[in-house]
Structure 1
Amino acid sequence: MTTTSENTQTLTSASPHRLLRYLPASALLIDALLVAVVGLVAIVGRRELDVFASSAQVESQLAVAGPLMIAGWIAMLAILGAYHRDVFGAGTDEYRRVLNASLLAAGVTGVGSYLVKFELSRGFFILAYGLGVPALLFGRFALRRALHSARRRGLLRQRVLIAGSRSHIDEVARVLAREPWLGYEVIGALTPEYDLSEETATGLPVVGNANEATTLAKAYSADSIFFTGGAVGSSSQFRQAVWDLEHESIQVVIAPSVTDISNERIRIRPVGGLPLMHIEPPTWTDASRWGKRLFDSLGSLGLILAFSPVFLLAATQVKLHDRGPIFFKQTRIGKDGREFQCFKFRTMVQNAESMVAELQEQQGQSALLFKMKDDPRITPPGRWMRRLSVDELPQLFNVLLGHMSLIGPRPQVAREVALYDDSMSRRLHVRPGMTGLWQVSGRNDLTAEEAIRLDLYYVDNWSMLQDISILAKTLGAVLSSRGAY
C-alpha cells in the first residue's frame, strides 16, 4: 500500500477551497438586499396603485414597520435553518425552508400588527410578501446556479475521502464524478485494514486504512469523509470516529448502497437509537392517474395552438423539398406494450428505413437507442427541424389522443423493445413522452447506459413537480441544441 507521506505530497499540493464557509453569509446578504428592495417597491406600489383605501400613510410607517419586517423576516429564515451550510447546492430543502420561513414571517407580521393595533397598510403587506417570497426563491435559485457553474469549472469543491470496501467506494465515486455540480472532489480511498490494495478497480488511490480516518482526513486536508459499506466493523467504531472528528471542520457523511432513489421516497426513522432508512415503493403508478392525464391534455392542446405557425412552416418545407409525404408515421410501443402510430414531420429520405441495418453495421451499434451524427438519411429541412426538435411537434396529437404523455421515456420500436431486459421493461409502466429526463440531461450526447439509467429513475421516482421541472428545462435544451442530431 502507498505510504501516507508519499500520498500527502501528491494529494495536498493544492490547498482545499475554504470559500464555501462564506456561502451562508452570501445568501444572507442577498436575502437582506432583496427584502429591502421589495420593501421599497411595495411602498411605491402601494402609493401609486392605491388598491386598498386606507388612512394609513405608508411613508410614515417605514421608520417602524420597514426595519422590523426586514429583521423579522431574516431572523425567521435563520431560525428555520435557511442559512445552514448543508442546504445549499442540492435538493429542495433550501427552497422549502425559505418558503416556510417567509409564510411564517407574514403570519407573525399580520397577527402582531393586529395584537398591538398597529395600522399596517394592507396593500403594503400584500405587495411586500407577494413580491418578496418569489424574489427570495429566485435569489436562491440564482445563487445555486452560480454555485453549480463554479463547481463544474473546478471551483468551490469539497475534498472528499471515501471509506469502505473497494466496491462500495467505486460505486459512490462514480456517482460523485457523474454529478460534478455537487462539488465533491474525491482525493482518495480508505479501505479496511485487511485490504492491502494500492488502488480501487476504477483507479482511485488507497491512501490508508478506514480505522485511521481522523488522522488521514487531517493529513489530506479533507473537507468531508464518506463512510460506505465495509468502512467500520461495528457501530461503536463508527461512533468513535464521529467523536474523533467532532472538533474538526470535517463533515461526516454516510453513503448507503442506495442509488437512483429520490429523497421523497426515503424516510429516516430512528428506533432505539438506530436510524432506519425506509424506502417507499416506486411511484410509477401515480403517473397513470387523472391529474397527469389532465395536465397532458390541456398542455398538448395549448401547445398545438401556440405552435400552429411552426406546423405550417415545417409542413411546407418538407413538401417542397422532395414532394414526398409530410408526416412520418411509425409503429411504436407504448404503455404496457401496446402499439400505436407515432407522428413526426418527415426529416429523412423516403427509403430511410431500408438503410438502417447497413448503417448499424458500419457504426458497430446495436438496434437499442441507435443514433448517429451526420446521418446521411437526413434531408436539408430535416436538419434544422431536428436541431430545434420541431420534427417532434406532431406528437402533441399523440399526447392529445392518450397514446403518449408530454413527459416520459421516449417511445421505441418493437425491435428495440425486444432487446429489453427485466429492468428496462419498467419503461413500459408509464406512457412514453415527447421529452424526458435524459433529453434535458444531455440528449444524444449521453451513452445508452446513462439514458437507460435516467429513464428508469424517472419511472421509479415520478412526481408532478419533476414533470414541470423537465418541461421547463426542455426549452433550454432545445434552444441550446446540445446533443441534438
Structure 2
Amino acid sequence: MRHVRFPAQRVAGAAVDGTGSLCRLGDKARWYLPAAVIADLVGAAVPVALVFEAAQQARPGSCALAAALAWVGVQAVRHRYDRRALGESRGALPVLHDWLILIGVLAVARAATGESTPRLAALGALLPALLITLAVRKLTYRHLSAARREAQAVSRVLVIGEPAAAEDVIAHLAARTDHPYVVVGVVPVGPGSLDSGVPVAARLDADGPGAPLGDSAAVLAAVRNHRADLVLVAPGARFGGERLRRLSWALHDAGVELAVFPGLVEVSVKRLETLSAGGLAVLRVAPPVRRGAQPVLKAALDRTGAAVGLVLLAPVFLVLAAAIRLGSPGPAFYRQRRIGRDGVPFVMWKFRTMVVDADRKRAELAGANEHDGLMFKMRRDPRITRVGRLLRRTSLDELPQLFNVLVGDMSLVGPRPPLPEEVAQYDELALRRLTVRPGMTGLWQISGRSDLSWDETIQLDLSYVDNWSFTSDVDVVARTFRAVVDGRGAY
C-alpha cells in the first residue's frame, strides 16, 4: 500500500513500527494496564493502612486490603481496565463517580463489620485513591495522545459512502489527532471522483436490484487487502436501509466491526441517546443545557470566583497598574464596547496594553492583519507597549474582566466577546455564539488563541455553546492555567 499524507495532521500508512505498518488499537503501550492497577491498589491500600494504624484500628492491614480490592473491583466492573478504555479519557467526572461508588460499597461493609474508625478519617484515607487514579489517567491520556499524533495505537478504518459524504468523513478525521481512527481505504458508492488521496479499495454500484448482493464480497476483500479493523459507513440515498443491514451481517460474521456515521459533527456523546421506535433505531439528540441546576452552579461559580479573585488579586492589580502608568503615558485601564449575550452591548475592562491612540491607528494597519477572519491580529503590532507585550503573553491584561463577571456581563468561561463591527458582519452561524455569555477564557484560549483561523474559532465557540456542561467549564478553567503558562498564540 502506498504511503499517503492526509490533508492535515494524521498520516495513513506511516512507517511507525519499522515495517511500514500502523500500530493498531490493540498495540497501546503495555504498561497502561499494570500501571493503572498498581496505582489503584497502592493509592487505596497505603493511605488506609496508615490512617487506620494511627487510629489504632484492630485490623489496619485487612481494612487496607479490602479497600484496595474494592477500588480495583469497582473500576473493573465499570470497565475502566478494558483495553479499549485505557488512556482514552482524562476526565475527572467518571473517576469521581467510581470513587463515590467505592464510598457506598465500603460504607455497607463498615456497617456489616462494625468497624469503628471515625468517618471523617476513613473518608480522608480514601481521598488519595481518587487523586492518584486521576493522575495516572491523565498520564496515560497524554502518552496516548502523543502516540496518536505519530499514528500509533490506532484503528485502521475503511470508509464506505457516496463520494461527497466519504470525502467529508475522511477530511474530518484527518484534521484532528484526538481520536483512534486512521483511514486506510475508501469504498465509494456510485460514480464520482475523490480528491483526498486515500486509496480506493473498491467501488460499489449505485443502488439497483442486484447491487446489495455484490457489496459483501467487495467490502470483505477490501477489508482483507487493507487490513482494516473497522468499517465506517456514511449512509446516503444510495446506501442505507436493507443494503446496510445485509452488509452488517457479512461484516459481523467475519468478525469485523461496523460503525455508522449519522451525519452529526461536534455533538457531544453526552447529548446522544439511542432509542427504538417500531423496529427503527433512532438517535435522539438532547437539546443544549439551558435550564436546571447546572446553569445555577455556573452562575454561582462565576460570581464567587470573580469576587474571590478580585480580593486575592488586589495587590497584583496595584502593581500592574503602576507598571502600566510608568511604562507609557495614559490610564492603567482600557474600556471597550463589546457585544454580550443575545447581542446586548456592554463595556469590557482590560489593563491597557497599547498606546493611548491605538484605536485610531488600527485603520492604518488594516493591511497588515494576519488573521483570516473578522478579528484583527498582528504578531508584531507596533501599538503594543513593552509592558503590554508582557501582559498579553501572560494573559494578565484580562484580569480586570473579573469586574464584568461579577456584574453578570461575562462568565469565567465562554466564547470570546466580539466587537460591534465584527458582529455586524456575522452570518447566521456565527450569531449563535451570542446565545451564551462571553467568557474570560474558553476553548479558543486553550486551543491556540490567536493562532487559530476564523473558522476554527467559530467551530470551537459553537461546540461550547451546543455541548456546554458545568463539568466542561471546570475542565476549561483547569486547562487555562496550562495555556497561560505555555503562552502560545498570545499576542
| Aligned ranges 1:195-234 → 2 under 5 Å | 195=191, 197=193, 200-209=194-203, 211=215, 212-230=218-236, 233-234=239-240
**Which residue is equivalent to 2:176?**
179
Using the size of structure 1 for normalisation, the TM-score is: 0.86
User: Is 1:391 aligned to residue 397 of structure 2?
Assistant: yes
Question: Given residue 41 of structure 1, which amino acid in structure 2 is its aligned partner?
Answer: P
| Whole-Å separation in 2 of the counterparts to 1:276 and 1:88 | 29
| Cα drift, residue 315 of structure 1 | 1.1
Moved more, 203-212 or 121-130: 121-130
**Which residue is equivalent to 2:300?**
294
| Cα drift, residue 298 of structure 1 | 0.9
Out of 328, 331, 336, the position equivalent to 1:325 is 331
**Which residue is equivalent to 1:283?**
289
Asked if the contact 1:329/1:341 (under 8 Å) is kept, the reply is: yes
User: Is 1:345 aligned to residue 351 of structure 2?
Assistant: yes
Out of 140, 149, 152, the position equivalent to 2:149 is 152
| Cα drift, residue 285 of structure 1 | 5.9
1:268-298 deviation line (CA, Å, top 9, x unaligned): 1123442211112233567995432222111
Structure 1 residues 285 and 371, CA gap change in structure 2 (3 angstroms): farther
User: Is 1:169 aligned to residue 166 of structure 2?
Assistant: yes
Asked if the contact 2:252/2:258 (under 8 Å) is kept, the reply is: no
Question: Given residue 168 of structure 1, which amino acid in structure 2 is its aligned partner?
Answer: A
**Which residue is equivalent to 2:187?**
190
**Which residue is equivalent to 1:423?**
429
RMSD across aligned positions (CA): 3.1
| SS of aligned partner of 1:87 | coil
| SS of aligned partner of 1:209 | coil
**Which residue is equivalent to 1:82?**
80
Out of 126, 130, 134, the position equivalent to 2:123 is 126
1:379-409 deviation line (CA, Å, top 9, x unaligned): 1111100000111111111111222111111
1:229-270 deviation line (CA, Å, top 9, x unaligned): 239734343333333333656432211100121222211112
| Whole-Å separation in 1 of the counterparts to 2:416 and 2:446 | 12
| Cα drift, residue 155 of structure 1 | 2.4
| Whole-Å separation in 1 of the counterparts to 2:401 and 2:241 | 55
Structure 1 residues 104 and 468, CA gap change in structure 2 (3 angstroms): closer
User: Is 1:240 aligned to residue 246 of structure 2?
Assistant: yes
| Whole-Å separation in 1 of the counterparts to 2:37 and 2:395 | 38
Asked if the contact 2:229/2:257 (under 8 Å) is kept, the reply is: yes
Moved more, 175-184 or 66-75: 66-75
Structure 1 residues 313 and 177, CA gap change in structure 2 (3 angstroms): farther
User: Is 1:483 aligned to residue 477 of structure 2?
Assistant: no
| SS of aligned partner of 1:465 | helix
1:180-232 deviation line (CA, Å, top 9, x unaligned): 0213222221111x2253xx244433221353222212211122221112397
| Whole-Å separation in 1 of the counterparts to 2:295 and 2:107 | 39
Moved more, 378-387 or 299-308: 299-308
| Whole-Å separation in 1 of the counterparts to 2:109 and 2:349 | 59
| SS of aligned partner of 1:222 | coil
| Whole-Å separation in 2 of the counterparts to 1:231 and 1:79 | 41
Asked if the contact 2:414/2:440 (under 8 Å) is kept, the reply is: yes
Question: Given residue 226 of structure 2, which amino acid in structure 1 is its aligned partner?
Answer: Y
**Which residue is equivalent to 1:42?**
48
| SS of aligned partner of 1:181 | coil
| Aligned ranges 1:397-416 → 2 under 5 Å | 397-416=403-422
| Cα drift, residue 469 of structure 1 | 1.0
| SS of aligned partner of 2:201 | strand
Count of residues in Structure 1 that have an aligned counterpart in Structure 2: 467
User: Is 1:451 aligned to residue 449 of structure 2?
Assistant: no
Question: Given residue 303 of structure 1, which amino acid in structure 2 is its aligned partner?
Answer: G
| Cα drift, residue 25 of structure 1 | 7.6
1:321-374 deviation line (CA, Å, top 9, x unaligned): 222121111111112222221111111122211222232224486771221211
| Cα drift, residue 154 of structure 1 | 3.0
Structure 1 residues 310 and 213, CA gap change in structure 2 (3 angstroms): farther
| Identity %, equivalent residues | 34
Asked if the contact 1:287/1:462 (under 8 Å) is kept, the reply is: no
Question: Given residue 327 of structure 1, which amino acid in structure 2 is its aligned partner?
Answer: F
User: Is 1:252 aligned to residue 275 of structure 2?
Assistant: no
| Whole-Å separation in 1 of the counterparts to 2:100 and 2:325 | 56
1:428-454 deviation line (CA, Å, top 9, x unaligned): 212211111111111111100000111
| Whole-Å separation in 1 of the counterparts to 2:371 and 2:28 | 49
| Cα drift, residue 45 of structure 1 | 2.5
| Aligned ranges 1:92-131 → 2 under 5 Å | 98-112=95-109, 114-115=111-112, 117=113, 119=115, 121=117, 125-131=122-128
| Cα drift, residue 299 of structure 1 | 0.6
| Cα drift, residue 11 of structure 1 | 5.1
Structure 1 residues 465 and 415, CA gap change in structure 2 (3 angstroms): same
| Whole-Å separation in 1 of the counterparts to 2:238 and 2:72 | 42
Asked if the contact 1:82/1:98 (under 8 Å) is kept, the reply is: no
Question: Given residue 467 of structure 1, which amino acid in structure 2 is its aligned partner?
Answer: D
Q: List gaps (5 residues or longer) in structure 1.
A: none
Asked if the contact 1:27/1:140 (under 8 Å) is kept, the reply is: no
Question: Given residue 136 of structure 1, which amino acid in structure 2 is its aligned partner?
Answer: T
Asked if the contact 1:286/1:462 (under 8 Å) is kept, the reply is: no
Q: List gaps (5 residues or longer) in structure 2.
A: 5-11, 205-214
Which structure has greater helix proportion?
Answer: 1
| Cα drift, residue 24 of structure 1 | 8.6
| Whole-Å separation in 1 of the counterparts to 2:412 and 2:148 | 32
Using the size of structure 2 for normalisation, the TM-score is: 0.85
Question: Given residue 164 of structure 1, which amino acid in structure 2 is its aligned partner?
Answer: G
User: Is 1:58 aligned to residue 59 of structure 2?
Assistant: yes
**Which residue is equivalent to 1:433?**
439
1:28-81 deviation line (CA, Å, top 9, x unaligned): 542244323431222122223x2xxx6x4234xx2x555454444433322232
